Chain A
């Protein structure tokens, strides 16, 4: 009545339906046979699954934490490079800012000063610790001659010792061969600011009776024929008044920091006695 093919198909359908019905009941009733089968299957497969899964995780880990690290490392290198450039740029900006500040002070000094000023850069310093001179990059070609005073906004630096075509040697006021005729601004007590090499000056020949106190401002008197009157030199940092003797021992600390000199101004016009400390 039915062909063989039809019989096989119907049989397969019936088997599938039965299989589904049986397993559905088994699932609902939680039969011990099904449980045991599941446990066995799990026990058989799960170790391999665990190994497989952990190895996959390991691979994934490698991929995310190692291979990706290469690109992170490259990115890090790039960022480091950029940071170095930024730091460099920042440093340059800061240097420009400082230089701008210094030059502004110079321009202010140039505008306010009654003298003709020529700016110069310090290009070298004395190699010996016993002498205090600097070499600047302006010489006779720029109108600089020996004997001209050299200043910065803070005060007197020194005077031009020798001038060549393009450079000049400046004797600093802290050199022991330098002396500036000076006045204590408050009391007009007169003395000689003489260098003592270790970055300081002595205020020599100040009479014992004169009123000199620590912190007093000392200016040039203009009598030495080199420095115009009224230029700042330094402040009194030590006073020793002995019981005997004509003079008192006075130490003078210059306003100029000679270790940080970078630019200076040379007073080209001769000292004018009329520009008294104004």
Chain B
């Protein structure tokens, strides 16, 4: 059941990211909404159903994007490996930990993209465009992360209650 909810939510986010966000000016576009979602799942949700959803989401993003296949999935797996136990080692407030991990994840994703592009073109150029993309993404990560945290928390807690309520009724 959790898997299904996570999966539907990830598809919803992908749809928003590919259809709704491109309608806004460039400043609003350049932010991978699945990163906060993946980070939220990794940090605060049970592992049941979380891993397959992360893999499927990464796969979907790779297939929909024009980039090299595997970049998104690699990013999400890297986030999973790096921050899976972050809650054990770092004792910040949940929301601050969420913000820090998102910023680091966005940084990781962009570094990975740059690496792939550099390998493909056999050259590395730090352009103004590339730097501006990174800076805008980081700023958006900082601004939107707390809002997204509250949103995810509210939605998933509600869903949890609904699922538990439904199960109780069955028992």
Contact = CB atoms under 8 A, between A and B. Distances in A.
Contacts of B61: 127
A131 B65 contact: yes
B19 interface: yes
Contacts of B162: none
Given A123-B19, A197-B129, A128 B67 contact: yes
A198 B67 contact: no
B128 to A, nearest CB: 8
A161 to B, nearest CB: 7
Interface stretch (B47-55, B92-100, B113-121): B113-121
Main secondary structure of the interface of B (DSSP, over half): helix
A130 B18 contact: no
B64 A129 contact: no
B19 A133 contact: no
Interface residues of B, number: 24
Nearest to B114: A130
B166 interface: no
B119 to A, nearest CB: 12
Nearest to B17: A127
B56 to A, nearest CB: 16
B67 to A, nearest CB: 4
A172 B22 CA distance: 15
Main secondary structure of the interface of A (DSSP, over half): loop
A127 B120 contact: no
Nearest to B33: A127
Interface string B16-32: 01110110001001101
Interface of A: 123-133, 135, 161, 169, 171-172, 175-177, 197-198, 259
23 contacts: A123-B19, A124-B18, A125-B19, A125-B22, A126-B18, A126-B64, A126-B67, A127-B17, A127-B18, A127-B64, A128-B113, A129-B137, A130-B67, A130-B133, A133-B66, A135-B18, A161-B66, A176-B117, A176-B120, A176-B121, A177-B66, A177-B120, A198-B127
Interface of B: 14, 17-19, 21-22, 26, 29-30, 32, 61, 64-67, 113-114, 117, 120-121, 127, 129, 133, 137
Given A129-B30, A135-B64, 17 more contacts: A124-B22, A127-B65, A128-B65, A128-B66, A130-B113, A130-B114, A130-B133, A131-B65, A132-B66, A133-B66, A135-B18, A176-B121, A177-B66, A197-B129, A198-B127, A198-B129, A259-B26
